Amino acid sequence: MVCVDSCSDGPIAICRICQAVTACLFLFIGITCQFYAGLNTNDISLGNLCDTYSGSSEIMDQRAFDNLFDWVQTRTCQFNPACCGEQRNDECINYDRASSFFLRPTLGTGAGDRVDLLRYAGPFFWCKHVPAEVALDELTCAQKMQENPGSDPQPCKVWPGQEPAPGARGNWYLAPATLQGSAIYHINCNDKQKVYRDFLRAVYGQQWSDSEVDAAGSEFYSACIVDKGSDGFILIVGPIVALLGGVVSTLTMFTRFHRPPWPDVGINMLLIATILLLVGFWSISISTSGEIFNSYTWCGDADAPLVNKGRWYDQTPCIDRDSLGEGQWNPFVVTLLGIDSTYIAGGVLNVLATLMFLGLVSGFTEKMIGERFGKYLVDTRDFFVPRPNLPFPSRSSTGAQ
């Protein structure tokens, strides 16, 4: 039963019950929002990214990689006779060459020559189609760079036969991939692993068995999970501690738990949860809103020469304009901001629930100190303070003389 001192405390008990129910409701909604946001911040579908980049949600498959490598081999045949013919060999197509091809800065990545960081490659590696605005007879990215080395080749094809996305809608530019944070960092690891396996099958063909490809794909998946594991832990541990603190604080309303140490345990857990929630706010603001505001810009109603095909004059992607110049929001950025807002809204509800739970248990603590434990409090005057013996006569002895 709920603790009350007398029947006259009935209204107070009802108020406490209503406060506890409201706090539990806030806590449940807040934790649900934060769990959803924490688990999805770095788990966005690869199709969402490709739809933003090209206007099609189709991702790269083995057939697309085969078409690319066939073109690369044919092009290399002009300089290396060993690459001529339909049969591939390690001199023409191998893992290092194929990975380096997608890790060039001109293809929107900042991983440099580190072929072990292929998981940070730009959308050219993950998405099957190019934007619809790229014509069928458009030059490839490599050909554009050869003709004009100082220009930005995007949008462009990776190989001549790459098909544009169906439809005539525009696309949105994505910020270049970096090791500190980028759009590809937030993509689901299972989707990335699927593309990586098809990439390996296209590179090695019949040289690798399915078990070997699966083993390499599992290693790639593990590295992807480790990259974002700390963020997920920081975003989820706060709501978990808040949940435990709320449960303990609610139990203190009943006679069985209305005694030490449960009220103090509830207070301490709620205070720790508040600190962890603030850390979660800081973490998600860096990985979402901070990243967006540093990599994208608001173009508004500006026209040329300030804005050209969805980018600011310094090549910064617009957050609110597509490549056709229409005022439409970047879908990928909207998804990230929605997850960020969900986490913050859930955190606010958790903070309000924490304050309500603290109100439930703080009254018990004050009462215990004031009424029951007050007689055990020690006054400072009860301490024995030794008096030093100074070599000076006291006032009483001076008056007697």
User: Residue 376: its pLDDT value, please?
Assistant: 40
For the chain, what is the radius of gyration of the CA atoms?
A: 32
User: Residue 302: its pLDDT value, please?
Assistant: 84
Q: Block means of pLDDT (10 residues each) for the chain, length 401 residues?
A: 47 76 89 86 88 87 89 78 71 79 60 66 86 74 76 77 77 71 82 93 86 92 82 80 84 74 81 85 75 82 83 85 83 88 89 83 54 44 54 56 51
Angle between helices 331-367 and 46-54 (to 10 degrees): 140
Q: Cβ neighbours of residue 217 under 8 Å, at least 6 residues apart?
A: 193, 196, 197, 200
Alpha carbon of residue 177 to chain centroid: 15
Cα separation, 345 vs 355, in Å, equals 16
Cα separation, 54 vs 50, in Å, equals 6
User: Residue 368: its pLDDT value, please?
Assistant: 47
Q: Which residues pair with 297 in a beta bridge?
A: 318
Long-range own/partner contacts, residues 110-116 (CB < 8 A, 24 or more apart)? 110/176, 110/177, 110/178, 110/179, 110/182, 111/177, 111/179
Cα separation, 349 vs 272, in Å, equals 16
Measure the CA dihedral 348/354/360/361, to 10°: -160
Cα separation, 287 vs 282, in Å, equals 9
